[in-house]
């Protein structure tokens, strides 16, 4: 009996420093590697998470990280935090700024606070020449309008893409990278699966957003990076390819986008 080859893959959006992993973090990371995950990008979305992401990288050099302020926390953005963010970028050597963006799913933080935090981080990303990882919820139009004011940014990642046809077409025109994961596998995501093929395969990234967004059929509500190749197998037919090919292609995209070390076994 021949075993299916292990699909090697990069998980471009994790929160492995989350308390959901406090009891078994190292086991989760080890099981993810055993399931083919060859590199991780952990998202430090507030100052304490910049520290915990950096600490994780010190113990696990295959877990690179981004630093930023989540739009739901935009009310915390001020000149002190901005200075700390610049310092974190200088000192900690992250691969991207984020996640930042717009989230209009709740009444707060208000638009003014979200704009200030988003614009501040875009300016920092532009100055540092780093990619920006964008979180967007119920804010497609405002996101397009804002990013159109910033034509010279380093590459943009639309993480956990859940946008409209219009946002997908805009992203393709702009050359954005688009992160897809467990959300797109869910039964209620049929409209999203209709939009996704508008994104060319050379702009796709795979991500779990662990511990969030467990895929359809998952045994646990807690998502883990080990689920990623299964997610790829479900989504790959949208681009008429195999799960292994989607893993390989998106890993190469991630390596060049984030400047990751070459991933052993993926060429
Ligand atoms: Zn996230």
Q: What is the per-residue pLDDT across 86-108, written as a single tens digit (0 to 9) for each?
A: 999 999 999 999 999 999 999 99
165-190 average pLDDT score:
97
Q: What is the per-residue pLDDT across 125-169, written as a single tens digit (0 to 9) for each?
A: 999 999 999 999 999 999 999 999 999 999 999 999 998 999 999
39-61 average pLDDT score:
98
Q: How far is CA 218 from the centre of its chain?
A: 20
**pLDDT > 90? residue 1:** no
**pLDDT > 50? residue 229:** yes
Strand ordering across the sheet containing 63-67: 9-14, 37-44, 63-67, 96-103, 132-137, 156-158, 177-180, 204-206
**pLDDT > 80? residue 195:** yes
Q: What spacing in Å lies between the alpha carbon of 1 and ligand 1's midpoint?
A: 39
- Report the pLDDT value the prediction gives residue 5, as an integer from 0 to 100: 65
All residues with CB under 5 Å from ion ligand 1 = 43
Q: What spacing in Å lies between the alpha carbon of 213 and ligand 1's midpoint?
A: 10
Q: What spacing in Å lies between the alpha carbon of 160 and ligand 1's midpoint?
A: 8
Q: What spacing in Å lies between the alpha carbon of 212 and ligand 1's midpoint?
A: 8
Q: What spacing in Å lies between the alpha carbon of 209 and ligand 1's midpoint?
A: 5
How much of the chain exceeds pLDDT 90, in percent?
Answer: 94
Q: What spacing in Å lies between the alpha carbon of 7 and ligand 1's midpoint?
A: 23
Q: What is the largest CA-CA distance in the chain?
A: 61
- Report the pLDDT value the prediction gives residue 263, as an integer from 0 to 100: 76
């Amino acid at each position: 009996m021949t075993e299916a080859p292990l699909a090697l893959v990069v998980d471009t959006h994790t929160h492995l420093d989350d308390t959901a992993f406090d009891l078994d973090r190292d086991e989760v990371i080890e099981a993810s590697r055993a399931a083919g995950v060859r590199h991780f990008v952990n998202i430090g979305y507030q100052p304490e998470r910049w520290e915990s992401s950096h600490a994780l990288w010190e113990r696990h050099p295959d877990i690179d990280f981004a630093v930023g302020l989540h739009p739901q926390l935009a009310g915390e953005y001020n000149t002190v935090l901005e200075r700390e963010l610049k310092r974190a970028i200088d000192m900690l050597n992250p691969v991207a700024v984020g996640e930042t963006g717009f989230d209009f799913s709740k009444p707060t933080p208000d638009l003014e606070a979200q704009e200030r935090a988003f614009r501040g981080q875009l300016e920092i990303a532009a100055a540092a020449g780093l990619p920006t990882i964008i979180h967007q919820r119920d804010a497609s139009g405002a996101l397009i309008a804002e990013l159109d004011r910033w034509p010279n940014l380093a590459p943009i990642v639309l993480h956990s893409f859940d946008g409209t046809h219009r946002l997908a077409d805009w992203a393709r025109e702009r050359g954005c990278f688009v992160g897809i994961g467990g959300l797109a596998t869910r039964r209620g995501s049929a409209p999203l699966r209709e939009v996704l093929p508008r994104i060319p395969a050379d702009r796709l990234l795979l991500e779990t957003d662990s511990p969030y967004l467990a895929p359809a059929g998952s045994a646990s509500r807690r998502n883990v990076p080990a689920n990623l190749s299964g997610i790829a197998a479900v989504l790959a037919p949208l681009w008429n390819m195999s799960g292994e090919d989607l893993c390989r292609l998106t890993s190469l995209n991630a390596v060049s986008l984030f400047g990751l070390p070459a991933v052993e076994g993926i060429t």
